[in-house]
Structure formats: structure tokens, C-alpha cells
């Protein structure tokens, strides 16, 4: 087994012990991918990785066994379409010593029918989701993950510059998004999303990029992400086409101050809601509180949105190694929106920003 997998399994068993869990079950998805570096093809055929203090084993659809064997030496309990998974599940549970499990950690992202197939076998068992175990481990990134996230962030910086170079009067949002996608591909990254919101469209935080053409006087929200080596990027910057709309500079300065206040509040031991409050306070005191309509940030890892969430209700205690966004915004209906988004990794001394691109507005000369 690769060292990274052995280390993660050991850390996971430590968390399971603390959480009083005697069995953990993952479906083929990103939790499994983080743990093993791969996951079998995900379809309707029950496929589970079972982990206990004493061992680990797969319930594995025979159809996917060969392809999965290239990636792992973990025991497979295979089942075929003609027989169904019941016997193989019995054998897998016996193999790991999980047949009498009382507290099961369930992958909250797996199919409900997989979860119920397992829980129906364990009468009287209760469950918890992964937040105290595998989820807690995933929040803190190791150096390998940091390297991938940093590489992706710098690709994103260059993709953003490609967007800036394309944004001109008469060019549509979709054309700017296409330039972003082309840039990601040119660096071997898969485009994940590109939100380009010009003028009044910028006031919709998750605007559906469309065929509206940019025009002089537009503020443009550009929020883009790509993926390489299994890890994504995510960043938002602002451009204006020629002259900014009325009130733009004032609002931009407020949003930037909110970013700075959130960054200043980020320290190990602080609760996530305190960071959200720091950003929100700046915007509220400037009179725009009702126009900051979303949480301040989200974790970034294999998933583009994952814990820790930087929201008004999140009690998560921030720790060294956590990676998350700081992305306050002000959205003025019918006028424009401004969001500025940084991805940071928390270090002992505070947050370190991944991007090397300043948050100043890019002004397109017209």
C-alpha cells in the first residue's frame, strides 16, 4: 500500500476511535478518492469500502473489480449481477470484524440505497456522518495537496489574465468564458466553471454566463476555476470596461476592506463564524449589509465546496493547514455586483494567499 494511503488510514483510525465509531463505510466518491487516491466507477451497483480498527475491505461489483485492482491491494468481496451483493456484504463485514458494529460512520455523499443496504444489516447500530472523522482530516491539507492547490491557483491567475485580455465592448460573457476555458486547457487543466457577469448581471452572485455583450461602463465579475492533478482552483476578480459605473470605486474599496478584515481574523483557534463576522461587519457598517447575501467562504480541496464553511453559523475551529475561500461581495440589483475572492491556507502565523494577482480592478481601455 502506498505510504500516503497507510498514513491516512492510520489517521482515520485515530479519529474513529476518538469519535467512538467502530465501522466506517465509504461509497465511490471524493472521500474515498482522498483516502485511497482513486475510487472505483460509481454506478447503481453497491460498492463500499469498509474500515474498522482491525482492517479494511471492499464490497466490490465484479464488473469493476479488474479496473480497481490496478489501484489498490485491499481485499475485494466481489458480487455479480446474477447474485446480488448480499453474500459478499456478509463476507466483507466478517472480514473486517464489523458485523456487530454499533456506531457507523457513513459517507454522507454516498447513495441512500448503499447506506440502507449496510444499516439494515446492523440492527441497533447508530450512525454519524464523516465530519468528526474523515471530513476533519480532509480539512487540513498536507504538503502534497498544498503543492497541487498552489499550482492550480497560479494557472488560475493566468486564466484570469486571459479573461482580462478578451473582455472588450461587444464581446459576450460566453466569449470571455471560452477564453478562460481555452487557457485552462492550454496548461493541462480541466475547466470547472466560469462565471462572467457583466453590468447588471454581476448583481446575481451565481449568474448563468450568457450571450449579453459587454459594453462601456460595465463592471464585470469574473469567477473561474479549473482542475489539474485532482485539485481545483477558484478565484474572483473584477474588471471594468472603460469607465466604472457610478459608485463602483466606493463599493470596491468596501469589499476589499471586508476581505482584509476577514484575513486579519483568520488565526488557528478562531471559529469560522468569527471570520464571517469580520467581513460582514465591514460591509454592514458601510451600509451595504443587506447586499452581502451569501456566506464569506468555503473550504477547497478535492471538492470545490467542502468544509470548513466560513459562515455565520459555523462553529468549526480553524486549524493550521486548512484551505478555504474569503469571498465577500456586494450585489446592487440592476446596477452591478462586486465580489473579490482569495483562496488561503491557514498557517500558524495567519493566512497565506495562493494567488499572486492583486485584487485591484482591471480596467479595459476603450
Closest CB 52 distance from Zn ion, rounded Å: 36
Nearest to 196 by CA among 172, 215, 168, 162: 172
SS3 219: strand
- φ, ψ at 28 (rounded to 5°): -75, 95
Tell me which residue of 170, 159, 279 sits closest to 222, measured CA to CA. 159
Nearer to Zn ion, 50 or 344 (CB): 344
Does position 342 interact with Zn ion (CB under 5 A)? The reply is no
Nearer to Zn ion, 77 or 181 (CB): 181
Instruction: Pick the piece of the chain touching Zn ion (CB under 5 A) from 256-264, 268-276, 280-288, 321-329.
Output: 321-329
Counting contacts by CB under 5 A, is residue 256 touching Zn ion? no
Give Cβ neighbours of residue 171 (< 8 Å, ≥ 6 apart).
Answer: 213, 214
What are the DSSP E strand ranges found in the chain?
23-26, 48-51, 56-61, 75-79, 103-106, 126-128, 190-198, 219-228, 231-232, 235-241, 297-299, 306-310, 323-326, 329-332, 336-339, 342-347, 350-353, 362-364
Closer by beta carbon to Zn ion, 8 or else 138: 138
- Does 325 bind Zn ion (CB under 5 A)? Our answer is yes
Residue 346, phi-psi category: left (phi > 0), alpha (psi -120 to 50), beta (remainder): beta
Shortest distance, position 171 Cβ to Zn ion, whole Å? 21
Q: How far apart are CA 351 and CA 206, in angstroms?
A: 26
Torsion angle of C-alpha atoms 276, 279, 285, 287, degrees rounded to 10: -100
Residues in the chain: 366
Q: Provide the minimum distance between the beta carbon of 118 and Zn ion in the complex, in angstroms, as a whole number.
A: 33
Minimum CB distance to Zn ion smaller for 27 or for 297: 297
Query: What are the cell numbers at 54?
Result: 482491525
Ramachandran angles phi, psi of 218, nearest 5° = -80, 140
Which is nearer to Zn ion, 325 or 355 (by Cβ)? 325
Residues 226-255 that bind Zn ion (CB under 5 A): 234, 236
Per-residue binding letters, 259-298, with Zn ion (x by CB under 5 A) = ----------------------------------------
Select the span of 13-21, 71-79, 178-186, 341-349 touching Zn ion (CB under 5 A).
341-349
Decide whether 30 or 325 has the Cβ nearer to Zn ion: 325
234 or 306: CB nearest Zn ion: 234
Q: Which is nearer to Zn ion, 61 or 328 (CB)?
A: 328
Residue (234 or 276) nearer to Zn ion, CB = 234
For residues 255 and 328, is the Cβ–Cβ distance under 8 A?
Answer: yes
Shortest Cβ 30–Zn ion spacing (Å): 17
Q: Site mask, Zn ion, residues 101-130, x = CB under 5 A?
A: ------------------------------
Q: Shortest distance, CB of residue 298 to Zn ion, whole angstroms?
A: 6
CB 284 → Zn ion: shortest distance, Å?
21
Q: Taking contact as CB under 5 A, which single stretch among the options 54-62, 211-219, 268-276, 339-347 is the one that binds Zn ion? A: 339-347
Least distance to Zn ion, CB of residue 233, Å: 9
The string of DSSP letters for 326-365 reads E--EEEETTTEEEE-BEEEEEETTEEEE---S-SSPEEEP
- Shortest Cβ distance from residue 106 to Zn ion (Å)? 27
Using the rule CB under 5 A, give the single segment among 141-149, 173-181, 333-341, 345-353 that binds Zn ion: 333-341
Instruction: Give just the sign of the alpha carbon dihedral 124, 130, 131, 134.
Output: positive
Q: Cell 492533478 identifies what position? A: 229
Size of the residue set binding Zn ion (CB under 5 A): 5
Name residues contacting Zn ion, limited to 184-223 (CB under 5 A): 223
Cell of residue 241, nine digits: 470596461
- Footprint on this chain of Zn ion (rule: CB under 5 A): 223, 234, 236, 325, 341
Amino acid at each position: 500500500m502506498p505510504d500516503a494511503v497507510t498514513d491516512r488510514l492510520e489517521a482515520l483510525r485515530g479519529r474513529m476511535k476518538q469519535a467512538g465509531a467502530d465501522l466506517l463505510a465509504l461509497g465511490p466518491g471524493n472521500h474515498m478518492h482522498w483516502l485511497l487516491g482513486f475510487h472505483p466507477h460509481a454506478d447503481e451497483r453497491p460498492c463500499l469500502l469498509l474500515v474498522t480498527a482491525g482492517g479494511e475491505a471492499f464490497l466490490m461489483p465484479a464488473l469493476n473489480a479488474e479496473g480497481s485492482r490496478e489501484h489498490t491491494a485491499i481485499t475485494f468481496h466481489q458480487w455479480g449481477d446474477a447474485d446480488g451483493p448480499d453474500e459478499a456484504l456478509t463476507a466483507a463485514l466478517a472480514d473486517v470484524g464489523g458485523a456487530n458494529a454499533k456506531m457507523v460512520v457513513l459517507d454522507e455523499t454516498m447513495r441512500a440505497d448503499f447506506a440502507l443496504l449496510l444499516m439494515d444489516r446492523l440492527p441497533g447500530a447508530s450512525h454519524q456522518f464523516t465530519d468528526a472523522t474523515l471530513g476533519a482530516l480532509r480539512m487540513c491539507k498536507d504538503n502534497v495537496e498544498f503543492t497541487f492547490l498552489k499550482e492550480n491557483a497560479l494557472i488560475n491567475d493566468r486564466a484570469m489574465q486571459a479573461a482580462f485580455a478578451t473582455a472588450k465592448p461587444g464581446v459576450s460573457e460566453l466569449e470571455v468564458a471560452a477564453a478562460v476555458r481555452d487557457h485552462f486547457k492550454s496548461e493541462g487543466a480541466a475547466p470547472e466553471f466560469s462565471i462572467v457577469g457583466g453590468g447588471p448581471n454581476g448583481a446575481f452572485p451565481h449568474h448563468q454566463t450568457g450571450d449579453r455583450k459587454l459594453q462601456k461602463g460595465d463592471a464585470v465579475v469574473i469567477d473561474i476555476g479549473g482542475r489539474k492533478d485532482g485539485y481545483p482552483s477558484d478565484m474572483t476578480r473584477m474588471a471594468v470596461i472603460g469607465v466604472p459605473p457610478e459608485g463602483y470605486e466606493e463599493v470596491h474599496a468596501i469589499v476589499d476592506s471586508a476581505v482584509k478584515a476577514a484575513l486579519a481574523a483568520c488565526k488557528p483557534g478562531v471559529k469560522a463564524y468569527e471570520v464571517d463576522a469580520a467581513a460582514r461587519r465591514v460591509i454592514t457598517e458601510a451600509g451595504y449589509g443587506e447586499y452581502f447575501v451569501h456566506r464569506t467562504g468555503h473550504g477547497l480541496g478535492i471538492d470545490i465546496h467542502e468544509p470548513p464553511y466560513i459562515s455565520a453559523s459555523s462553529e468549526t475551529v480553524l486549524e493550521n493547514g486548512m484551505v478555504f475561500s474569503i469571498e465577500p461581495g456586494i450585489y446592487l440589483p440592476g446596477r452591478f455586483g462586486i465580489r473579490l475572492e482569495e483562496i488561503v491556507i491557514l498557517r500558524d502565523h495567519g493566512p497565506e494567499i495562493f494567488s499572486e494577482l492583486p485584487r485591484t480592478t482591471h480596467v479595459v481601455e476603450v
